[in-house]
Chains A and B, each alone.
Chain A
Amino acid sequence: MIEDLFSTTVLVGILASGIRLATPYLYAAIGETFGQRSGVLNLGVDGQMLLGAFAAFYVALTYQNLWLGILAAIIVGGLMGLAMAYVTVNLQAQQGISGIGFYLFGLGMSDLLFQKLLGTVETVRGFPSLYIPFLSDIPFLGDIFFRQNILVYLAYLLVPLAWFVMNKTTLGLKIRAVGENPEAADSLGVSVARVRYFSIILGGMLSGVAGASMSIALLNVFQQNMTSGLGFIAVALVYFGGWRPGGVLLGALLFSMVNALQLWIQVKGIQIPSDFAVMMPYVLTILVLVLAVQRVRPPSALTKPFERES
């Protein structure tokens, strides 16, 4: 039974599934990483994803153009980010609760639009799998890495890109400074508000794409609450990743691979109650953190509104 798991089919299956499952987490968590690095905790990711998912789906269905769908998701996610930015930066609202508020809004609004504009579950022809020439023919590896759809590839490209922006650009430097010590950044003429706006809006856009990656690339349907709390896991993965894109990638892969593994455990008929199988990724994510004993501090100004005294 257990030994059934150690076959190449299973391994290839787990890796391929894990890579796909991790895709929406990557977009959302990388976006959230930017927000948190600039000092803003956004708990509304799931709501942004849902609205993004719906916008992408609806536009793709109506105009038969997937990229237009992505654009719609980016715009809708960005608008949600803009609202979040206004509320947390200008109105200095408690970040935690306003995030929950935006989550509820996105959850309800996406469903409402779905009911009014579509009415029933439909499918759309999503992004097809893109077989990378030659590479996709490599035994095993080809299956795992090179037969995914374009949004999956882009998600993984996003990781080094995010690292690069964060660590190698003046913008990244500002983001890191603003999240750590906004007073210092402000005293050097860095606009804390502008940097935070940028980060939160970017986060919203990426959350929108995360939703789109589900509705028009991986699943090709829209259904109410189709993310089922995935956005909250994405926020948790930012903590797992220690606010670094690479760490987020590790966390997303770990979580997703274990999720894929538990599906295989069930399929292989290994005798554990299915509920315990489903529990595995959550338990393991915590355990890994306990054992890794990493001590990365959150950005010092995380959740703290900034106001210049006058």
Chain B
Amino acid sequence: MAQVEKRVPGTERIQTVEMRGITKRFPGVLANDKVDFDVRAGEVHALLGENGAGKSTLMKILYGMYAPDEGEILINDTHVEIHSPTDAIQYGIGMIHQHFMLVETLTVTENVALGLPSSRGLLTDLDAVSKRIRELAQVYGLQVDPNAYIWQLAVGQRQRVEIIKALYRGADLLILDEPTAVLTPQEVDEFFATIRQMVAEGHAIIFISHKLHEVLAISQRVTVLRDGKRVASRETAGCTKADLARMMVGREIRVMPEKPPAQVGDVMLELRQVQAQSDLGTAGLKGVSLQVYAGEILGLAGVSGNGQRELAQVVCGLRPITSGRVLLKNEDVTGMLPGELTKRMLAYIPEERMKDAMIQQFTVCENIILRDHNKPPYAQRGFLRHNIIGEYTDKLIQYFKVKTPSRDTQARHLSGGNIQKVVLARELSRQPRVLVAAQPTRGLDIGATEYVHNRLIEERQKGTAILLISEDLDEILALSDRIAVIYEGKIMGVVNRQEATAEQLGLLMAGVKEELTPA
């Protein structure tokens, strides 16, 4: 299949893209307020801002998904009209969305070929496409099996498919909306290598991330949005994390929290030689043994797809165990249903909160009682007590500072960060004895991240046993008392925080085992 015909005015490749005075109103929200933004071939321009600052909106305008209310777009200094993604693609703009745009039931090749003219006319030319995918993969280090179905792929691999899709369409400018949120540090490194390669070949990149160190590492320029306005735009070189944070939030942020010493108690959660299958039917957990004590945070580090999801689900009764035992405070809870575990004061913040822990069409109230809807005082003889539920919800909204018009607002109308807070509020307010928190700060801005970290530490001080699952090694190191590393469904080792180093953990995460002093 040939490259797509482009109708870029003047030159063939994108040299500069400029957005001038872009304003976008959603009823009730001024998402973008006279924003100027530009990017040049051969550079990475980072876009920063709190949750809801208007980053995605600005980029969707550039990609033709939203029409701006005011402002104009210029490519190579020529005014262009971009009315749809098709227009954008033809100008050589590619976008990788915050939420992947992939058809899970199709193969990688089919996803890439979708919507493109075929060299065989009406028939698909999947062989040719897959050949070209392998070439691109070679050039940019994007290893992925063209014949695999999307549902079989891990997030990191899906990310690569998205990039291949854009490159395949001959994107000169690539918009990356929080591409690293779901990637492991290793994957981020590989991903950055790909980006550098692309920049070297003259691509222009727009990069959105909440992780300041990534912004510092990859970008040449950075622009900060706050409440829809551009508040700063400067060369990255010379900026510090603290500078960026201040520009974003307008106040000082402690990037990593302070932590009082741990008051460790009894074993609260114990896994003994647990085995379980993964979604694909392969062995997901191959005999995992772990203990989490009251009053400690046990960090579980590991590269995504090594069994973290399975482990969390096994503990919370959402995945059957093929062999082994799970104990909650010395009680065997193997095979118990989630409802029964809930009664035993187990709390769980799952990785995919929007999907797995919230009912988008339910109100905040209704979501707050998702775990306890049939327990007094929220229900009596099978009837819900809306007054009590409402008052309780109001209290949580206030205490956890959830930004919502009212307790009766549907969850889907809240911003991602606030949905996160609702889950957190629900799980923590249940006064759990054991808390499983998977990727609790994924997708959150630094202000919200700081807030979540503080809450977790607070919970630890109350004597809760916390299993913190994170792919963010910085987060693990900052919060954990002990750190376990999981690799291919097995625990590679457990180390005390004081004895752990990033290098050593990195090796373990890669499956390289050294002799360790067990914690």
Contacts and interface: CB of A to CB of B under 8 A. Distances in A.
B89 interface: yes
Interface in B80-126: 84-86, 89, 95, 97, 101-106, 110-111, 113-118, 122-124
Nearest to B120: A170
A183 B60 CA distance: 13
Contact of B104 (A168, A181, A189, A190): A181
A15 B484 CA distance: 65
B165 interface: yes
Q: Which of A170, A184, A187 has the most CB of B within 10 A?
A: A187
A181 B101 contact: yes
A295 interface: no
A147 interface: no
B66 interface: yes
Contacts of B103: 176-177, 180-181, 184-185
B165 A170 contact: no
B105 A180 contact: yes
Contacts of A170: 113, 116-118, 122-124
Contacts of B85: 186-189
A168 B124 contact: yes
A181 B151 CA distance: 13
B106 A180 contact: yes
Given A169-B124, A186-B85, A180 B104 contact: yes
A169 B85 CA distance: 23
A310 B66 CA distance: 5
Interface string A172-202: 1110110011011111111000000000000
B65 interface: yes
Contact of B102 (A181, A186, A308): A181
Given A169-B124, A183-B101, A187-B97, A176 B65 contact: no
Interface residues on B, range: 20 to 34
A171 interface: yes
Question: Which applies to chain A's interface (DSSP): helix, strand, loop or mixed?
Answer: helix
Contacts of A173: 106, 110, 113-114, 124
Interface string B116-146: 1110001110000000000000000000000
A9 to B, nearest CB: 45
A177 B44 CA distance: 32
A56 B428 CA distance: 68
B124 A184 contact: no
B107 to A, nearest CB: 10
Contacts of B113: 170, 173
Contacts of A169: 122-124
Nearest to B125: A170
A173 B116 CA distance: 11
A300 B104 CA distance: 10
Contacts of B95: 187
B355 to A, nearest CB: 13
A47 B310 CA distance: 49
A189 B115 contact: yes
Nearest to A184: B101
B218 to A, nearest CB: 24
B179 to A, nearest CB: 15
A177 B67 CA distance: 25
B212 to A, nearest CB: 29
B124 A190 contact: no
Contacts of A176: 103, 105-106, 110
Nearest to B113: A173
Contacts of B104: 180-181, 300
Interface in A136-182: 168-174, 176-177, 180-181
B84 A188 contact: no
A170 B84 CA distance: 21
A176 B104 CA distance: 11
Q: Which of B66, B67, B86 has the most CB of A within 10 A?
A: B86
A308 B65 contact: yes
Nearest to B86: A189
Contacts of B67: 310
Interface in A188-236: 188-190
A206 to B, nearest CB: 19
B114 A174 contact: yes
A181 B115 CA distance: 13
A169 B121 CA distance: 9
B106 A190 contact: no
B329 to A, nearest CB: 37
A243 B118 CA distance: 25
Contact of B114 (A168, A183, A185, A310): A185
Interface in A241-257: none
B65 A190 contact: no
A183 B95 CA distance: 13
Interface in B8-62: none
Nearest to A297: B105
Nearest to B89: A189
Interface in A282-310: 297, 300, 308-310
Given A180-B104, A189-B115, 13 more contacts: A168-B123, A168-B124, A170-B122, A173-B114, A174-B115, A176-B110, A180-B106, A184-B101, A187-B65, A187-B85, A187-B97, A190-B115, A310-B66
22 contacts: A168-B124, A170-B113, A170-B116, A170-B122, A173-B110, A176-B105, A177-B106, A177-B110, A177-B114, A180-B106, A181-B104, A183-B101, A184-B111, A184-B114, A187-B65, A187-B95, A187-B97, A188-B115, A190-B115, A308-B65, A309-B65, A310-B67
Interface of A: 168-174, 176-177, 180-181, 183-190, 297, 300, 308-310
Interface of B: 65-67, 84-86, 89, 95, 97, 101-106, 110-111, 113-118, 122-124, 165
Nearest first, the 8 closest Cβ-Cβ pairs linking A and B are: A189-B86, A188-B115, A184-B101, A190-B115, A187-B101, A181-B103, A177-B103, A180-B103
